[in-house]
């Protein structure tokens, strides 16, 4: 019946009330706007606008058809955006950094499988580290973090991060368990080594039990868990992980000083790219299901 592209000339005249202003808005000549609008009216068989000394106004039919033309405009814009996103950036790899125990829980929960099913041309690649990788230097695209981080990064809270103090049943049987924070100095402790000396758990142990004997030091949360499970000593652990271990007992806590928020973070330059936005949108939708293995 008519060329859909001609609807944009009708919309431009309706909004600007003149073919000159409509041409400027579209980056085209007045004659082009007038010619295409006239062609649209010819194909429809009725006038959409009338010219008056003060400019163009819509006819009764033009007023009736205007909201439908606006809907077409919105649909075309959405279609173009979708095509552009798919062509440019909804393919490739998203490198996600987070602690190793969380990777295992994410994959076991089928979370990543569901993301791949929704976006079959995107692939999540994990970069596991208890060290904070530098997103500004491209060491990873996205980070799950539960501690203090660079203010330059942007993101969303996903869940609460709760820590408590744990001991193995074997340790408690042989050495008893601390009843108060002050009792930690009387026990063998497990903590982070110098590579993670700035971690809040390491700082907290130094503050509350500076004279305590360290039975083991680890360079990862997973190392802490294994050391505490082996019965070497008492140590702080994420509650979601400690509570899931049948051989461990929560002896103190939650510890308020160690509580933080789990956040999904990215560098501002990447955050609004389609592939990163797709991952953020998916995780935000799934955050309730993630609380069981992030918070406990």
Q: Which two tokens stand for residue 135?
A: 């997103």
Arithmetic mean of pLDDT, 27-39: 93
Say what the pLDDT of residue 62 is: 92
Cα–Cα dist 200/192, whole Å = 10
User: Is residue 86 scored above 70 in pLDDT?
Assistant: no
Arithmetic mean of pLDDT, 266-294: 90
User: Is residue 48 scored above 80 in pLDDT?
Assistant: yes
User: Is residue 128 scored above 70 in pLDDT?
Assistant: yes
pTM of the complete model? 0.64
- Residue pLDDT, tens place only, 154-195: 999 999 999 999 999 999 999 999 999 999 999 999 999 998
Give the pLDDT band of residue 82 (cuts 50, 70, 90): low
Give the pLDDT band of residue 117 (cuts 50, 70, 90): very high
Say what the pLDDT of residue 202 is: 94
Sign, Cα dihedral of 57, 62, 67, 69? negative
Give the pLDDT band of residue 74 (cuts 50, 70, 90): confident
User: Is residue 87 scored above 70 in pLDDT?
Assistant: no
Give the pLDDT band of residue 81 (cuts 50, 70, 90): low
Query: Got the DSSP string for the chain?
Result: ---GGGHHHHHHHHHHSSHHHHHHHHTS-HHHHHHHHHHHHHHHTS-SEEEETTEEEE-HHHHHHHHHHHHHHHHHHHHHHHHHHHHHTSSEEEEEEE-HHHHHHHHHTTHHHHHHHHSTTEEEEEEE-SS---GGGTS-SEEEE-S---TT-EEEEEEEE-EEEEEEHHHHHHH---SSGGGGGGS-EEEE-GGGTTSHHHHHHHHH-TTPPEEEEESSHHHHHHHHHTTS-BEEEEHHHHTT-TTEEEEE---GGG-EEEEEEE-HHHHTSHHHHHHHHHHHHHHHHHHHHHT-
Cα–Cα dist 262/95, whole Å = 18
Q: What percent of the chain lies above the pLDDT cut of 90? A: 66
Say what the pLDDT of residue 262 is: 93
Other residues' Cβ atoms within 10 Å of the Cβ of residue 80: 10
- Residue pLDDT, tens place only, 203-244: 999 999 998 899 999 998 999 999 999 999 999 999 999 999
């Amino acid at each position: 019946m008519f060329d859909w592209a001609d609807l944009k000339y009708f919309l431009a005249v309706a909004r600007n009330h003149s073919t000159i202003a409509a041409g400027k808005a579209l980056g085209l000549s007045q004659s082009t706007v007038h010619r295409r609008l006239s062609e649209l009216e010819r194909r429809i068989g009725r006038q959409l606008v009338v010219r008056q000394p003060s400019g163009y106004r819509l006819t009764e039919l033009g007023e009736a058809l205007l909201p439908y033309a606006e809907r077409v405009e919105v649909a075309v814009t959405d279609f173009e955006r979708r095509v552009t996103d798919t062509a440019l950036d909804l393919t490739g790899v998203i490198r996600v950094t987070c602690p190793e125990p969380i990777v295992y829980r994410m994959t076991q929960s089928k979370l990543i499988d569901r993301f791949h099913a929704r976006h079959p041309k995107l692939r999540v690649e994990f970069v596991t580290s208890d060290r904070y990788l530098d997103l500004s230097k491209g060491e990873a695209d996205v980070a799950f973090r539960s501690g203090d981080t660079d203010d330059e990064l942007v993101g969303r809270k996903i869940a609460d991060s709760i820590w408590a103090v744990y001991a193995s049943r074997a340790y408690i049987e042989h050495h008893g368990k601390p009843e108060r924070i002050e009792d930690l100095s009387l026990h063998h402790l497990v903590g982070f080594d110098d590579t993670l000396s700035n971690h809040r758990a390491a700082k907290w142990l130094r503050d509350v039990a500076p004279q305590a004997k360290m039975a083991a030091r680890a360079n990862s949360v997973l190392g802490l868990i294994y050391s505490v499970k082996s019965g070497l000593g008492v140590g702080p652990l994420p509650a979601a992980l400690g509570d899931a271990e049948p051989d461990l007992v929560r002896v103190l806590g939650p510890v308020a000083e160690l509580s933080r928020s789990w956040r999904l973070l990215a560098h501002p330059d990447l955050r609004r790219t389609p592939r990163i936005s797709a991952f953020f949108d998916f995780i935000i939708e799934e955050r309730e299901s993630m609380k069981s293995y992030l918070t406990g």
